[in-house]
Amino acid sequence: MPACVRPVGYMPRQTHECDAAVLVRQHLAEFLGRCDERAGPLPEFVKGELEGFAGCGDLELGFVRTCCRTGGDELRVPFACKSRGFCPSCMGRRMAEGAALLVDHVLPAVGYRQWVLSFPGPLAVRL
């Protein structure tokens, strides 16, 4: 049997190593402590979003191992936070899936045009 051909240029997302995730991971406990002292505790859903983002894409927090049946190649895919409001990687994936759903199942198969309307500086701020 022929081996599977790996996609050329496949690069898994490196969510766990992005600058924002590193900063959140390093300072989250201190930030939550300061919030508790000064303004009261943050809502639980906000804490959950921040903690999820800090661990998004971390192989140590869990992964799925996929294996090609014909070629035997293995790939470890880390779990994502599936956040709705903070993680840019998960939000981008969610937006792409939403757009694909609209194109495949909702919008009719006709040609579309995109129009952009822009206004000069001060007027744009007011609008």
One digit per residue, pLDDT tens: the chain, 127 residues? 455 666 555 566 677 778 888 898 899 999 999 998 988 888 998 898 888 888 888 888 888 888 888 877 788 888 888 877 778 888 888 888 999 999 899 999 888 888 888 998 888 888 8
Cα separation, 42 vs 32, in Å, equals 7
* CB < 8 Å & 24+ apart, contacts of 59-63: 59/16
Residue 72 has a pLDDT of 76
User: What is the reported pLDDT for 30?
Assistant: 94
Please give the pLDDT value at position 54: 87
pLDDT for residue 2 = 53
Q: Catalogue the long-range contacts made by 22-25 (C-beta closer than 8 Å, 24 or more residues apart).
A: 24/50, 24/53, 24/54, 25/54
Per-residue model confidence (pLDDT) at position 106? 93
Question: Is pTM beyond 0.75 here?
Answer: no
Name beta bridge partners: 67.
Answer: 74
Residues 6+ apart with CB under 8 A from 65: 74, 75, 76, 77
Whole-number pLDDT of residue 3: 56
Of residues 67, 94, 95, 80, the one with CA closest to residue 4: 67
Sign of CA dihedral 103, 106, 109, 114: negative
